[in-house]
Amino acid sequence: VVPRLLPPKFSLVKANSRVTLAGLLATGVAAPIGAGLQTIGSAWPLYGACVIFIAGTFLAFTLPHKVDSAKGERRARLIDPHGEEAVPPPAPKPRGLRKDGLRKDGLRRNGEKPAKERPPGLRSVGGSVFHGLQANASHRALSGFLIFFLAFLLREHPMAGQSAAVSLAIVGVSAGVGNACGTAVGAWLRARGPEVIIATVLGLALGTAVLAAVFFSTAAVAALGAVAGFTQALSKLSLDAMIQRDVPEEVRTSAFARSETLLQMAWVVGGGIGIALPLNAVLGMSVAAGILALGAATSVRGLLGAARRGTPHPRVA
C-alpha cells in the first residue's frame, strides 16, 4: 500500500519512518485509555479495541482505488554495472513473430509450446535487498520471541522487587523508546550505507542478547528490549532504503509487499518459539542470541560484500 500512495518526490524511507512514529504515538495514547477502561471492567478494553478496529476498517475503505491495482507494475532483474556494455544488442525480430518472439498462434518458430516462465523470486531484486531481508527477518523473529517469552516469564517470575505488571511495563517502555530512537536515527542518517548499518545493528543486538544471557537481570532485560527496538527500526528503514535504491519503481510495490509478508512470518515463527520454550530466563536469552546469530551468519558477509561492490543497476525485464 505505502509505495502505491507515495506523493511525488517523497521517499519510501521517509514514509515508513512516519508510519512507525504514528504507530508509536497511537500506542502511547491508547495505553492510558486502555488502563482507564480496565478500571471500569475487564471487558471494557475489548469493547474499546472493537471500536478502534471498526474505525480502522472504515478508513481502509476510503483509500484510493489504486492501492489494489497492479497496473503498470512489472518484474526486474539486476545486472552487473561493469558488464552492461558487453550485452549484445537485441537481434531483429523476424517477420510474423510477436514482440515476445513467438508466432501469432502462441507457439515457437519450430511449432513447440513455450516453456512456462517461472515467477520472479526475491533473489531477483539483488543481493543487497535479499541479505538485508535475511537480517531483518532475524530482528523480527527476535521481536516476536521476546514479546511472548517475556510476557509469560515475567508473569510467573517478575523482576526483583517489581510486580508482573510493572516488569512488563519496563520492558514495553524500553522497547518503545528504543524503536522511536531507531526511527529518529534512521531519518537523520538518510540511508547512508544501508548495508553497513544493517550489519552493524545486527552485531549490536547479538552482543546485547549474549550479555543478557550471561548476566540476566532487570537492567539486562530492559537493555535488550531497548536495543531490540532500536535495531529493528533502524534495520527496517535501511532495508526500505535499499528497496528504493535497487528496485525499479515498476516493481517496488511487489518487492515491498513480499518483504513485509516474509517479515511478518518471521515474527510469527519467533513468537511460536517463545510460547513453546520453557520459562527459563537464561535459556530464553540464549535462544534470542541464537536467532540473531543465525541471521548474522546468513546475511552479514553478503551485506558487507555488496557494500564493497557498490550499487547494482536495476533493469526491468
Residue 235: per-residue pLDDT: 92
Over 80: is that where the pLDDT of 64 sits? no
Over 70: is that where the pLDDT of 218 sits? yes
Strand partners, 76: 316
Residue 94: per-residue pLDDT: 54
Percent of the chain with pLDDT over 70: 72
For the chain, the average pLDDT equals: 78
Q: How is 149-179 classified by DSSP, letter by letter?
A: HHHHHHHHSPPTT--HHHHHHHHHHHHHHHH
Q: How many Å apart are CA 89 and CA 85, to the nearest integer?
A: 9
- Is the pTM above the cut of 0.85? no
* Residue spans per domain, the chain: 3-64+123-316
What is the grid cell recorded at 7? Answer: 506523493
What is the grid cell recorded at 34? Answer: 486502555
Residue 223: per-residue pLDDT: 94
Residue 128: per-residue pLDDT: 83
Over 70: is that where the pLDDT of 212 sits? yes
pLDDT tens figures, 69-91: 555 555 544 443 444 433 344 45
pLDDT tens figures, 144-159: 999 999 999 988 888 8
Closest CA to 204 of 259, 142, 246, 116: 142
- 1-15, 35-49, 283-297: range with lowest mean pLDDT: 1-15
Residue 11: per-residue pLDDT: 66
Over 60: is that where the pLDDT of 58 sits? yes
Q: How many Å apart are CA 301 and CA 199, to the nearest integer?
A: 9
Mean pLDDT value of segment 167-175: 88
Mean pLDDT value of segment 221-228: 94
- 38-47, 183-192, 222-231: range with lowest mean pLDDT: 183-192
Over 70: is that where the pLDDT of 296 sits? yes
Residue 4: per-residue pLDDT: 63
Residue 211: per-residue pLDDT: 95
Over 90: is that where the pLDDT of 121 sits? no
CATH superfamily of this structure's domain 3-64+123-316: MFS general substrate transporter like domains (1.20.1250.20)
What is the grid cell recorded at 296? Answer: 548474522
